[in-house]
């Protein structure tokens, strides 16, 4: 399998072009309709429990953390970004040390992740496949080099990006001496093709671990139509310190010579 970047000839790195690292939220309004995805970084949950049901306390606190909490929440992870909950109806029956009992309950939850830097490729057997109408050129490397590529790209971002490329709060919270405490969190994987709206019922109730997995991977979730044909493999970069994430303002252009030899 090969990781392939489809592009115009003038944007091929082997022809001396710079590499453009986009932003997650930027893909919501990108000019190219083939690439535009207005719901990038968003996910919706609808909880619908008409009958009485007992739930793990951590489960309810994980999903409802923007609206309410049951008991101790120290063991429930917090995710950066936004949570908003609309409680259509809620009937609280009882609570124990480890569980919550609800019935006749409907809650809608909207989750959004912070903006981040994103680079997208396709994972293919046939590198000559033509997936994008506008792109007649490409460059590629073997799938087993994905982590090497990610680390080299992260080093280039840290060496070439400017503080002004990121949210203004970074200047307010860091002195020249504390900039060294910033790190670039790197994640990469195949995109998960599934709908971004999960309806949770008694018959379709994901586990606590499955919910955490979904919340962690929102930047990698895209709907099957019309995107699954792209076979996307995504690299995500988040600049952060110990307290917060600093979203990018705009895409970043990188000089790529160190990436040529993969």
Predicted local confidence at residue 176, as pLDDT: 60
Question: Do 101 and 127 belong to one domain?
Answer: no
CA distance 243 to 223: 32
Question: Do 134 and 93 belong to one domain?
Answer: no
Range of the domain at 134: 2-38+114-194+219-259
Question: Do 57 and 156 belong to one domain?
Answer: no
The answer as to whether 14 is a domain residue is: yes
The answer as to whether 209 is a domain residue is: no
Question: Do 56 and 145 belong to one domain?
Answer: no
Q: How many CB atoms lie within 10 A of CB 252?
A: 22
Question: Do 8 and 91 belong to one domain?
Answer: no
The model's pLDDT over 70-85, given as tens digits with 9 standing for 90+, comes to 777 777 888 888 888 8
Predicted local confidence at residue 257, as pLDDT: 67
For residues 234 and 102, the model is more confident at 234
Question: Do 80 and 151 belong to one domain?
Answer: no
pLDDT grade for 226, boundaries at 50, 70 and 90: confident
Question: Do 246 and 173 belong to one domain?
Answer: yes
> Are 47 and 103 contacting, i.e. CB atoms less than 8 angstroms apart?
no
Predicted local confidence at residue 130, as pLDDT: 74
Give the rounded percent of residues in the chain with a pLDDT score beyond 70: 94
Predicted local confidence at residue 260, as pLDDT: 56
Start-to-end C-alpha separation, the chain: 15
The model's pLDDT over 157-188, given as tens digits with 9 standing for 90+, comes to 988 988 888 888 877 776 665 566 788 999 99
Predicted local confidence at residue 161, as pLDDT: 85
Q: Nearest 5°: phi and psi at 103?
A: -155, 165
For residues 97 and 177, the model is more confident at 97
Question: Do 51 and 158 belong to one domain?
Answer: no
Predicted local confidence at residue 154, as pLDDT: 93
Predicted local confidence at residue 166, as pLDDT: 87
Q: How many domains does the chain have?
A: 2
**How far lies 33's CA from each of 4, 37, 38, 160, 248, in Å?**
20, 8, 10, 29, 22
């Amino acid at each position: 399998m090969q990781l392939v970047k489809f592009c115009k000839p003038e944007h091929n790195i082997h022809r001396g072009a710079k590499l453009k690292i986009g932003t997650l939220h930027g893909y919501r309004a990108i000019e190219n309709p083939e690439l535009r995805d207005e719901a990038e970084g968003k996910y919706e949950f609808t909880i619908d429990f008409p009958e009485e049901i007992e739930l793990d306390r951590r489960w309810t606190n994980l999903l409802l953390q923007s609206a309410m909490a049951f008991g101790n929440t120290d063991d429930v992870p917090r995710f950066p970004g936004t949570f908003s909950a609309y409680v259509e109806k809620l009937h609280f029956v009882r609570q124990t040390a480890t569980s919550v009992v609800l019935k006749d309950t409907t809650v809608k939850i909207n989750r959004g992740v912070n903006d981040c830097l994103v680079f997208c490729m396709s994972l293919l057997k046939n590198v000559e496949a033509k997936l994008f109408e506008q792109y007649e050129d490409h460059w590629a490397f073997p799938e087993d080099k994905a982590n090497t590529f990610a680390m080299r790209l992260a080093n280039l971002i840290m060496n070439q990006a400017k503080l002004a490329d990121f949210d203004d709060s970074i200047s307010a919270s860091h002195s020249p001496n504390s900039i060294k405490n910033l790190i670039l969190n790197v994640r990469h994987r195949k995109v998960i093709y599934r709908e971004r709206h999960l309806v949770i019922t008694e018959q379709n109730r994901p586990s606590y671990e499955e919910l955490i997995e979904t919340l962690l991977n929102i930047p990698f979730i895209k709907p099957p139509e019309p995107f699954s044909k792209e076979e996307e493999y995504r690299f995500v970069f988040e600049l952060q310190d110990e307290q917060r994430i600093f979203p990018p303002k705009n895409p970043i252009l990188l000089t790529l010579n160190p990436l040529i030899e993969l």
